[in-house]
Amino acid sequence: MKSKFPMSLHLAISLAWMVIALYLIFLYAPEEMTMGEVQRIFYIHFSLAMTALFAYFFVFLGSIGYLWKRARGADDFAYACAEVGFVYCCGVLVTGPLWAKPVWGIWWTWDARLTSTFILWLLYIAYLMLRAYVSSPGRVESLAAVVGTLGFITSIVDYMAIRWWRTQHPQPVIGGGTDSGLEPSMWVTTFVTWGALLCLFFYLVRLRTAIARTRRAVSIARQQMAA
């Protein structure tokens, strides 16, 4: 597929956007009052987390698309989103503790959001491991799509259940989030960073999809040569 939007341009925009985001994070956004410099990791952390969440939704869309239309492209898309989303999710789990330790005094707590992010991470692992281990050729796509769909249902259940669970076990409120009352300049920084990481995400997904397509073309060509 020849897209109107060249890959190299996409990469260039992603990188330039990242540079702008970094400028905003470190030089433009004001220092947070209580948390100090550490808070600047929030911009990356939040953007990674939101993208990782959306990525699983894309996995679901690709999976449903495959089951419905049997389109190879949908499966490639789901696989690519899962791989890149997993990397982003790992990023969330790395930047989170780095921020939590100085601010909360602990690396990790089984708080609602942390738990659901961890489950998301496990769901990514389940999906990717399945794709790596399926032994019957030609079955990978539909099996992965089934797991991708059930995984997405899990993340919805997750969203509801975490509220029931937490209302049953009230926990002491730990630390103050920055969610309430962000400075306008902080909002700008947040959204520019998120945009940059989304742009990079789609670049990586396109790259990964292109690789999958090439690989399939090669294997078909090889079969034809053998025949």
In the complex, the smallest distance separating the C-beta of residue 139 from another protein, rounded to whole angstroms, is 5
**Of these, 11, 71, 150, 210, which contacts another protein (CB under 8 A)?**
150
In the complex, the smallest distance separating the C-beta of residue 65 from another protein, rounded to whole angstroms, is 13
Of 76-84, 101-109, 140-148, 194-202: span binding another protein (CB under 8 A): 140-148
How far, in Å, CA of 203 to CA of 14, rounded? 8
- Decide: is 110 part of the binding site for another protein (CB under 8 A): no
DSSP string for residues in 179-201: -SS--HHHHHHHHHHHHHHHHHH
How far, in Å, CA of 165 to CA of 157, rounded? 12
Q: Left, alpha or beta for 181 (phi > 0: left; psi -120 to 50: alpha)?
A: left
Give the angle 44-121-166 at the CA atoms, nearest 5°: 90
- Decide: is 170 part of the binding site for another protein (CB under 8 A): no
**Of these, 3, 8, 136, 180, which contacts another protein (CB under 8 A)?**
136
The nearer residue to another protein, 120 or 204, going by C-beta atoms, is 120
Give the angle 174-175-180 at the CA atoms, nearest 5°: 115
What's 3's DSSP letter?
Answer: -
- Decide: is 139 part of the binding site for another protein (CB under 8 A): yes
Interface residue list for another protein (CB under 8 A): 67, 119, 122-123, 125-126, 129-130, 133-136, 138-139, 142-143, 145-147, 149-151, 153-154, 157-158, 161, 164-165, 168
